[in-house]
């Protein structure tokens, strides 16, 4: 019986595991992929030396700590978690079963890509998925945000304070919310609704984005940055039905990363806490400390 089973090997899971091991908890980490979604960096023309710290570099210290304690991890997919009396049973796709006194769910969220020409090639070369991380690299430049929900709206509001001009390309009509109302009134924001993005153009770096409107008009906008902010699906299926999730499927946690089910903690993109690797490193640490304190009470 493990003290804690951490499901997920991204920023939240790796940090949670490192902290749990430091507390001498008997720890098992199960992840499909080590490192999670941290393969992002940003290179821009003429801004050498101003790059933000990449996700992998952020995680490195915790990851190296775990690398030499490699007995604690299993590369597998968790298929089922069953709550038992005072413990949890976890089954993987390899048919193994593990028992844990506590659980930390750090399974992340599945991103939605645009799947248009240029997206993959220019990712990290002007194309970003995080305005929080990269908006400040686009001071005084023209940029486009693709999306329609809350994530896209916040990205536009943020970029409008930093960039010269911000185009919001919304594949769906925007719901009228106070934030959308505010965005509509911003002098440097232009909104195109019900568009289909065709291509992100540029040789080494992003130089343009092209799209068609519902009326069939074709547009090509010269931009230095493109931010993809489409809705993401939290990977919370393993606990849905017995742990409280919000209407979009995020696991609801309190300030200690505790969920509605005693002994189950959650951290990272699978929760409703804001999506940023740096934040999730802290959330993972918090979840591990909370799990340790819970074990002390058993």
Ligand X SMILES: Cc1cc2nc3c(=O)[nH]c(=O)nc-3n(C[C@H](O)[C@H](O)[C@H](O)COP(=O)(O)OP(=O)(O)OC[C@H]3O[C@@H](n4cnc5c(N)ncnc54)[C@H](O)[C@@H]3O)c2cc1C
Contact pattern from residue 109 through residue 148 relative to ligand X, giving x for each residue in contact according to CB under 6 A and a dash for the rest: --x----------------xxx--xx--------------
Q: Is residue 267 within 8 Å of residue 275, measured between CB atoms?
A: no
Q: Is residue 288 within 8 Å of residue 16, measured between CB atoms?
A: yes
Of 57 and 220, the one with the shorter C-beta distance to ligand X is 57
Contact pattern from residue 43 through residue 62 relative to ligand X, giving x for each residue in contact according to CB under 6 A and a dash for the rest: ------------x-------
CA-CA-CA-CA dihedral for 57, 63, 64, 65, to nearest 10: 130
Q: Give me the least distance between CB of 173 and ligand X, in Å please.
A: 25
Q: Per rule CB under 6 A, is residue 105 in the interface with ligand X?
A: no
- Where b means 16+ CB within 10 Å and e means fewer, 64-77 reads ebbeeeeebbbebe
Where does residue 162 rank: exposed (0-12), middle (13-18), buried (19+ CB within 10 A)? middle
Question: Residue count at the site for ligand X (CB under 6 A)?
Answer: 36
**Backbone dihedral angles phi then psi of residue 68, each to the nearest 5 degrees:** -85, -10
Q: Which residue stretch of 21-29, 151-159, 179-187, 273-281 sits at the interface with ligand X (rule: CB under 6 A)?
A: 273-281
Q: Is residue 247 within 8 Å of residue 241, measured between CB atoms?
A: no
- Give the span between the Cα atoms of 134 and 158, in whole angstroms: 11
Q: Per rule CB under 6 A, is residue 259 in the interface with ligand X?
A: no
Of 31 and 189, the one with the shorter C-beta distance to ligand X is 31
Of 83 and 111, the one with the shorter C-beta distance to ligand X is 111
Provide the binding-site residues for ligand X, judged by CB under 6 A: 7-13, 30-33, 36-38, 40, 55, 77-78, 106-108, 111, 128-130, 133-134, 235, 268-270, 275-278, 280
């Amino acid at each position: 019986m493990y003290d804690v089973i951490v499901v997920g090997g991204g920023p939240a899971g790796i940090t949670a595991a490192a902290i749990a091991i430091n507390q001498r908890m008997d720890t098992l980490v199960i992840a499909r992929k080590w490192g999670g979604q941290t393969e992002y960096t940003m290179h821009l023309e003429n801004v050498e030396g101003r790059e933000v710290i990449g996700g992998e570099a952020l995680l490195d210290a915790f990851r190296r700590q775990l690398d030499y304690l490699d007995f604690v991890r299993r590369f597998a997919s968790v298929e089922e978690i069953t709550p038992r009396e005072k413990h949890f049973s976890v089954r993987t796709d390899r048919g193994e079963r593990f028992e844990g006194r506590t659980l930390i769910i750090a399974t992340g969220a599945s991103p939605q890509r645009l799947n248009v020409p240029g997206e993959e090639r220019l990712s990290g070369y002007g194309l970003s998925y995080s305005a929080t991380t990269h908006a400040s690299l686009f001071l005084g430049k023209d940029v486009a945000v693709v999306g329609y929900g809350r994530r896209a709206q916040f990205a536009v509001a943020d970029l409008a304070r930093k960039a010269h001009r911000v185009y919001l390309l919304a594949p769906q009509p925007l719901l009228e919310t106070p934030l959308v109302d505010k965005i509509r009134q911003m002098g440097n924001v232009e909104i195109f609704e019900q568009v289909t993005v065709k291509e992100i153009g540029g040789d080494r770096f992003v130089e343009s984005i092209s799209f068609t409107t519902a009326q069939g008009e074709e547009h090509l906008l010269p931009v230095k940055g493109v931010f993809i902010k489409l809705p993401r699906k939290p990977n919370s299926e393993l606990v849905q039905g017995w742990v409280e999730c919000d209407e979009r499927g995020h696991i609801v946690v309190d300030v200690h990363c505790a969920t509605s089910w005693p002994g189950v903690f959650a951290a990272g993109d699978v929760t409703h806490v804001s999506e940023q690797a740096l934040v999730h490193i802290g959330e993972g640490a918090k979840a591990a400390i909370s799990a340790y304190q819970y074990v002390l009470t058993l």
